[in-house]
Structures are given as C-alpha cells and as structure tokens.
Amino acid sequence: MIMSVRPGIVLHTLKMPRSPIYTTEPMATRALAAEIRHADDKITALLEQRFNLEQGALSVLIDAQCEAIENVDVLLTYEGKGGRRRVGLEAKFDHEITVEQLDREAGEVDFLALLVIEPGVAVGHAHLVDGIVTWNEVIGCFADSRLTIADIESMPLTKVRVESLLRQHSRPYERFSEDWDVSIQRGGSGIPSIVVESRPLPDGRQIRGQIQVTGRGMPSTLDETYFEYHIGIQVNDDDADLPATAEVDDEPGWVPHLRTLERVLVDMGGESLRLSKHAASSGTSERGKNKLPLVEKFLEGKSWLAKGYVGWALGIRSAKTPAGELSELCEVAANIFLAWHRAETTNRVR
C-alpha cells in the first residue's frame, strides 16, 4: 500500500498493481529459493507429503541454493531425523523434460521434485522423480509471496499450453485399438504434436501422421497458433520408393495406399474433412526431388495426396485451423485414420 499525505489533502491509499517482475525461469527459481529460505515450513510439509515421508522427516532447512549440482534449479539441504538430506526442485516452464536430465539430477539428491505449470506437463515422467508439485501449490505456501502466479503466467509458456490443449483434445484417440501407437511428442524443433502410427500393414508399411502446429516456428501466443493434421503412408528414402521416374514402369509401393486414401475421403464426404488441396512441393534431397514426377506419372498429378516428408510419410494435410477448433480437427483426423486403416486391412476399398 502507498500512503499519500499532502497539506490540506485527506489521507488516502492506493493499491499497488501486481505487474510481473520475475519474467524468466532463472528469476523465478531464484525468487522461489528466497521465499523458501525466508519461510520454509509449509513448502517443507508439502514436499514431505509428495515424497510420502512422515511429518517432520526433513525437519530443519540449513541451506538453499540455485543451479547447484547438475544445474538443479533449487537445491535444499535439510538436517532431520534421517540425517542430512538434499532435495532438488527441477522447474519446467516451456522447455522439454528429458529422461537424461532427470536421471542425472536424481543421482545427486535424496529426493527430486518436478515443479510444473500443471500436473499434465509431467505425464510420462512422474516415475523418474519422487514427487510432482505445481507453481500454484508452492507459491501458495508463502504468505503474501513476492513471487506471484502473474509472474509465472507472464513467461512464454506457449509450448506447454499447446501440450495441454493437445492432451485435452486427444480423447478421440482413446478409442483406437492396440493396432495404434498414439503419443504427444516434441519434434526436432521442440514443438509438440499428437503423433499417430499404426502397426505395419500387410505390406509392412505404417499409416503415420500427426496433429501439429502449422509452420516451422512456434508463435508467441495461442491466438496466433494454428493447427493442421497430416495423415500419410510410410515412404522410405531409398531407390525402391523414390526412383527416377524415367527409369521405372511399375509404381512404387506407397502409391496404391494413396489411391485407397483418396477413395476413403470420397466415401467420407471430402467437403467436411477440412482437407487442403493445395499442391504439394517437391523434396530437396536427391531422392526427394523424384516425388512430384512420380506423383505426376502414377497419381494423375494429384500432388495434394502426397504432402509430407520423405523418410516419414506422404499423404494429406488439412487447412490450417485455429486453436478454438482443435477439438473438431482432432475428431476429423481420428475418423480418417480409422477409416483408412479399415480399408487397408479388410480390403473394403480397392
């Protein structure tokens, strides 16, 4: 509160706005360490609970450090009933959680907690740490904390929010059978997507695809973020799948699958599938450059059926879709995956 007193003016108070101050991950973790050092009782109790320890097992906090051994974000040293124990807090904002990092850190401390925006961020990694805590929980341990949720939310958390959105809207894939592998992954550029792969079809190829952010970079806000599906058939980067067109009379093995896909799309009512029919571009690798000539020769030039990447999959893409329509996009893509798989495995479409 700011008190303002001037001669002849009645005393009044002004409430200070809570603008973000700690706007980077190192700032936030240092501020957290300072809050813990100032008043550790409640967060110590929270950690004991998450580590399944009896109350008072950690007892007295004797030190708090930042980016200490193995660059653990916050390292707490306790003297308690079990002797001296080190507790690590590894904070994750928009960076990917890796098994290697958690393994290294867990080997240097007695207990390791993962500090995340929301519990879902830790899916797939909970077994690598001793407990999961959220920023809301730890900040709530301090009376009038100088580090606030507004600080945390001011950071560029777009990838984490995208992962959260993908988890929320991946429910259509819960009905997929054991013939499929569906997971949320971050690609080489760190951008998350729902990755879908079938078990090998009779000829050994997989149906593959993803629901992903459009473009090559990560937008700065969700309002600027658009999604698309890509659904295709496995295409290998070899001479059998991508020969020079002039040297072959027989179509490569992936071409019949794309014909089947086209028929499936017609049966499903193509206009309702958010399908993009813009022409595909050719690859830049030596064999990738053969893609469009092969499409011209064997698929009547329908290059919109052969979008994607050599070495992964060629197939269809959707039109770009805003985040608010992600649920519908995921549902449409799931229906296409399943209908195509049925056609390939039951010979209903030829």
pLDDT in tens, 81-118: 778 999 999 998 877 778 899 999 999 999 999 999 88
Return the half-sphere exposure (C-beta side, CA atoms, 13 A cut-off) of residue 315.
27
Tokens coding 75: 């390292």
What's the chain's average pLDDT?
Answer: 88
Among 123, 155, 187, residue at a domain's last position:
155
DSSP state of 275: B
Nearest-5° Cα angle at 11, 10 to 13: 130
Are 46 and 112 within one domain? Answer: yes
State the amino acid at position 208 in one-letter form. Answer: R
Q: What does the pLDDT average to over 144-152? A: 91
Q: What does the pLDDT average to over 124-135? A: 92
Among 103, 133, 155, residue at a domain's last position:
155
Q: How many domains does the chain have?
A: 2
**pLDDT score, position 5:** 43
pLDDT confidence tier of residue 18, bands split at 50, 70 and 90? low
Are 193 and 249 within one domain? Answer: yes
Are 115 and 191 within one domain? Answer: no
Are 97 and 227 within one domain? Answer: no
pLDDT confidence tier of residue 253, bands split at 50, 70 and 90? very high
Determine the Cα–Cα distance for residues 214 and 226; give it in Å rounded to an integer: 6
Q: What does the pLDDT average to over 48-74? A: 93
Q: What does the pLDDT average to over 310-334? A: 95
Is 8 domain-assigned? no
Q: Are 121 and 163 in contact (CB under 8 A)?
A: yes
Answer yes or no: is pLDDT of 157 > 80. Answer: no
> Would you say the pTM of this structure is higher than 0.75?
no
**pLDDT score, position 22:** 87
Are 208 and 341 within one domain? Answer: yes
Q: Domain limits at 46? A: 25-155
Write b or e for each residue in 118-140: b if 16 or more Cβ atoms lie within 10 A of its Cβ, otherwise e: eeebbeebeebbbbbbbbeebbe
Answer yes or no: is pLDDT of 290 > 50. Answer: yes
Answer yes or no: is pLDDT of 258 > 70. Answer: yes
Among 108, 135, 155, residue at a domain's last position:
155
Determine the Cα–Cα distance for residues 182 and 174; give it in Å rounded to an integer: 9
Q: What does the pLDDT average to over 122-133? A: 88
**pLDDT score, position 349:** 42
Distances (CA, A) of 62 to 51, 59, 139: 19, 10, 20
Answer yes or no: is pLDDT of 252 > 90. Answer: yes
